Amino acid sequence: MSECLFCKIAAGEIPSSKVYEDEICYAFHDIDPQAPAHFLVIPKAHIGSVAEVNGDNAGVVGHIFTVIAKVCQELGLESYRVVSNIGEQAGQSVFHLHFHVLSGRDMTWPPG
């Protein structure tokens, strides 16, 4: 989508701090980190949120989770939280599917 911020980041049209990249997904540091380690993993193809995951694109989500596990292992992150906000009430502000990966501090439950 031409006006989507994360489509532009995935395409390299807007600069970001890369953590990992392959042909399916892109991982980069969050611009406003909420933990000592905080990066986002996004599909390169536009999906609005988890609410748009279906039988045709679920493989992309599975791939993203294998990437999260691999990258966290390589970074030495043993405990971390993976979050995806869906909709404004849940805190979604960018409407391109992304998984937050947060680590490096104590976390509370339930989340706010």
Considering the complex, state which of residue 50 and residue 77 has its C-beta at the smaller distance from ligand 5GP. 50
- In the sheet with 99-103, reading across from the earlier edge strand, the strands are 18-21, 25-29, 37-43, 99-103, 80-83
CA distance 19 to 107: 22
Question: Does the protein bind ligand 5GP through residue 85 (CB under 6 A)?
Answer: yes
Question: Does the protein bind ligand 5GP through residue 11 (CB under 6 A)?
Answer: no
Enter the tokens of residue 29. Answer: 């540091």
- The catalytic site residues sit at 98
Question: Does the protein bind ligand 5GP through residue 21 (CB under 6 A)?
Answer: no
Distance of CA 4 to the CA centre of its chain: 15
Contact 72, 103 (CB under 8 A): yes
Per-position x/- string for 78-97, each x denoting binding to Zn ion as judged by CB under 5 A, each - no binding: ------------------x-
Stretch that binds ligand 5GP, among 24-32, 50-58, 72-80, 102-110 (CB under 6 A): 24-32
